[in-house]
Amino acid sequence: MHELPIFHRNTNYRRTAPLRNLFQEVRLHPADFVYPLFLIPGNNRKEAIVDMPDIYRQSLDGIFAEIEQLIPKGITAFLLFGVPDEKNPEVAFAERGFLVAGIRQIKQRFPDIVLITDICLCSYTAHGHCGHLDTLGEIDNDATILTLGKIAAAHAAAGADIVAPSAMCDGQITAIRSALNNSGQAKTLIMSYAAKFASHFYGPFREAAHCAPAMGNRKSYQLPYPNRREALQKVQAECDEGADILMVKPALLYLDIIREVRENFLQPVAAYNVSGEYASLRKMAEKDPAAGRQIIREALMAIKRSGADIIISYHAKDITGLLET
C-alpha cells in the first residue's frame, strides 16, 4: 500500500458546514451590541442623515419607536446623543432641558434597557469643539471637566446606567467620578472613550450631531493615529482614574489597539464602529444587499475577534440580517 506522508491536514476542520460551525471561535450575538440614537427636541421630527442610510435624528416619539423595534431583536443597550436646537452647554444638563427629560422618559418607559449617554460639549457649543475654550481659543481643560461632571451627574440622576465621556480631556474620569459620587450616583458606570483618535471617519456623525468644529480641528485633544504608545498611556490614565469600561474608537482601522487594550487591561473593552465606517460599508452593500450583509458581518466579526467585548455600531439596527450566515 502506498504510504501517505504525515502532514497536518488543517482543512479537515472545515470540510463541512457542521464541522466549521463546531470550530467557529467567535460568534456575533445581539447582546454584544450597543446601538447609537440621536435625540432632538420636540415632537414628530425625524431627519435623515447624509451618508448614513436608516439612521435618523429624531424626537422622543421616534426614539421610543426605534427602541421598541430593537428590543425583540435582542438589542437592549443604547448610546444616546442629544442634538439641541440651541448651542448652549447648559442644555446638556438642564433639568428641564430636552435631553435630561428625554433620558428620564426613556428609562421610565424601558426600565430594562442599558442606557448609555454621551458626555461631551461639541453639540452644545457654537464653535463645535468638545470643551470650553480659553482666551487663546484653546480647550480650557479644567473648566471643561467640571462641566462634564455636571452633565454626567444630571444624566445619572435622570436614569443613565452608564455615562460615556468623549471629550478627550485630561482628568475627565476623575471629575466625573467625583461629581457622580458626590451627587449620590455612585452606582453609575463610566465608559471612557480613552483611545479616541483624531479620525477622518467621524464625518457623517458630525453632520448627524451638528458638531463639526467651526474652526480648526480636534487634533489638539484627540489622539494622533500613528501613535500606539500615546494611546495606551491615555488608556492607562483613565483606567487609574477609575474608568469602568475602556473604549477604542474608531474600530475597524484600530483592531491592533483593541487587541492591545484587551490584553493589557482587565476592564471590559468597547469598540466604536464609527459613522464613516458605517457609511463606507453601507455604500459597498448598496448594489447587492445580500453580499453587503456578508461584508458587514465579516467586519463586525473582525472587531469581536480583535478582543472587543462590546461593539457600538449603527449596523446593530440590522442585527437579524447580520447573524444569518
**For 72, which DSSP code?**
G
Q: How far is the CB of 130 from ligand PBG (least distance, A)?
A: 5
The residues annotated as belonging to the active site are 196, 249
The backbone torsions φ and ψ at residue 194, rounded to the nearest 5 degrees and listed phi first, read -75, -50
Q: How far is the CB of 273 from ligand PBG (least distance, A)?
A: 8
Q: How far is the CB of 122 from ligand PBG (least distance, A)?
A: 5
Burial class (CB in 10 A: 0-12, 13-18, 19+), 200: exposed
**For 6, which DSSP code?**
P
Q: Can you give the three-state secondary structure of 11-30, one letter per residue?
A: HHHHCCHHHHHHHCCCCCCH
Would you tell me which residues interact with ligand PBG (CB under 6 A)?
Answer: 118, 120, 122, 130, 166, 202, 205-206, 211, 218, 274-275
* Nearest residue to 154 (alpha-carbon basis) of 82, 221, 208: 82
Helix H or strand E segment including 100: helix 98-109
Q: At what angle do helices 172-182 and 141-158 cross, to 10 degrees?
A: 40
Q: Which is nearer to ligand PBG, 118 or 140 (CB)?
A: 118
**For 315, which DSSP code?**
G
The backbone torsions φ and ψ at residue 130, rounded to the nearest 5 degrees and listed phi first, read -80, -5
Q: 168, 131 in Cβ contact below 8 A? A: no
Q: Residue 118's Cα: distance from chain center in Å?
A: 8
The angle at the Cα of 189, spanning 188 to 190, to the nearest 5 degrees, equals: 125
Q: 113, 76 in Cβ contact below 8 A? A: yes
Strand 46-48 and strand 56-58: the pairing is antiparallel
